């Protein structure tokens, strides 16, 4: 299965190999340099390096109205949109948040009775 791929790579020039590596890095969101130097990443090292988080409402819990109020306030939604979002859990609330902000939002929603995941 890989034999054909390896044969094609062997026939490539240095420039073509460089372009292939760049294309793979862009396609999969990785860096060949990081992997080669750092070796395999553990879950804790990936989490430490991560600088943006998606806040996902896993469930509204038993206090759905309190969670809706927080979602409405934080996201600037109307009541119906906030209700639809909470009813549709699991649902992304905000994407690309800094860690501190994401943890604050998570804390607010969990204090209101909801369950949140940071991804």
57 beta partners: 91, 116
Which strand (E) or helix (H) includes residue 96?
Answer: strand 91-97
Shared domain check, 55 and 18:
no
- In this predicted structure, the answer to whether residue 74 has a pLDDT above a threshold of 70 is yes
Spatial CA neighbour of 105 closest among 67, 63, 77: 67
Shared domain check, 106 and 83:
yes
- In this predicted structure, the answer to whether residue 111 has a pLDDT above a threshold of 80 is yes
Q: How confident is the model at residue 45 (pLDDT cuts 50, 70, 90)?
A: very low
Instruction: Give residue 7's pLDDT.
Output: 86
Shared domain check, 61 and 9:
no
Instruction: Give residue 3's pLDDT.
Output: 86
Helix H segments across the chain? 3-10, 14-28, 32-38, 43-49, 64-75, 79-87, 99-111
For residue 21, the enclosing domain spans: 3-48
> What separation, in Å, do the N-terminal and C-terminal C-alpha atoms of the chain show?
34
């Amino acid at each position: 299965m890989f034999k054909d791929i390896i044969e094609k790579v062997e026939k490539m020039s240095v420039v073509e190999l460089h372009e292939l590596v760049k294309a793979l890095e862009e396609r999969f969101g990785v860096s060949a340099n990081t992997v080669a130097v750092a070796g395999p990443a553990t879950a804790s090292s990936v989490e430490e390096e991560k600088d943006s988080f998606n806040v996902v409402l896993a469930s509204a819990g038993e206090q759905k109205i309190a969670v809706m109020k927080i979602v409405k306030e934080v996201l600037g939604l109307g009541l119906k949109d906030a209700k639809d979002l909470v009813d549709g859990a699991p649902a992304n609330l905000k994407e690309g948040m800094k860690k501190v902000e994401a943890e604050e939002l998570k804390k607010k929603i969990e204090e209101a009775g909801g369950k949140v995941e940071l991804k």
